[in-house]
Amino acid sequence: MAALMSLALATLGSCTALAPQAENVTLYLLAPELPHESSVARHDIVIAVAPPQAWPGFDTEQIAYVRKPYELDYFTASRWADTPARMLAPLLARALERTGGFRAAVALLSTVGADYRLDTEILRLRQNFAVQPSRSELTLRAQLVDLRNRRVVASRVFEETENAPSEDAFGGVVAANAALQRALGKLAAFCVAEASAR
């Protein structure tokens, strides 16, 4: 019996030694400083922000990078705190509010009372190490949908790049936030211009 117990303990010990050890993972946020409130004319328009989508490879909490074309890789000890698409949703609503051009910008829980819906998609969010210094590359597609007439009234792709201040995940995150800050400003201005022109 004692021999069996010793064998069981030895087996358990060897399994524990082979088990992967928990690694320390650093979590990062997409949390750029939003554009300052502008002085555009306020319109009696309510815009609903649909949950953003993301292309395959970017709909993950893993932070993506590339070293050569067509090959996507991910940092092992660094992660987004949530998927970029989910972090983007409240940022879009706040950026639209801060334009001052809408009566309200709301999350798309219900389209009742909304005049337009903003659909967005992350086409690319990665750190590119094939160039020096490395840079963060962000591509967003936005579509403005007229909910009364049920049609897309405007569509645009926003592309931003920003050199990373350091050649690591943190540098890429800093650059991604700077690129997103610019993209949000342009996207919000696009929505105000297109919605108020109709």
Please state the pTM of the whole predicted model.
Answer: 0.84
Q: How far apart are CA 187 and CA 52, in angstroms?
A: 13
Asked if pLDDT for residue 154 goes beyond 50, the answer is yes
Cα Rg, the chain, nearest whole Å: 22
Question: Under a CB-based contact definition with an 8 Å cutoff, are residues 138 and 179 in contact?
Answer: yes
Structure tokens at 24: 């320390």
Cis (ω within 30 of 0) for the bond into 69? no
Instruction: Pick the most confident of 2-16, 29-43, 46-60, 108-122.
Output: 46-60
How many residues would you count in the chain?
A: 198
At 49, list the tokens: 């922000």
Q: What is the mean pLDDT of the chain?
A: 87
**pLDDT for residue 182:** 96
Which pLDDT tens digit goes with each residue over 85-138? 999 999 999 999 999 989 988 887 665 689 999 999 999 999 999 999 999 999
HSE-CB of 63 using CA atoms within 13 angstroms: 25
What tokens were used for 66?
A: 């590339």
Inter-residue contact 190 to 39 (CB < 8 Å):
no
Domains of the chain: 50-196 (3.40.50.10610)
Helices 84-98 and 169-196 pack at an angle, to 10 degrees, of 50
Q: In this structure, which amino acid lies at residue 132?
A: Q
Please give, one letter per residue, the 3-state secondary structure of the chain. Answer: CHHHHHHHHHHHHHHHHHCCCCCCCEEECCCCCCCCCCCCCCCCCEEEECCCEECCCCCCCEEEEECCCCCEEEEEEEEECCCHHHHHHHHHHHHHHHCCCCCEEEECCCCCCCCEEEEEEEEEEEEECCCCCCEEEEEEEEEEEECCCCEEEEEEEEEEEEECCCCCHHHHHHHHHHHHHHHHHHHHHHHHHHHHCC
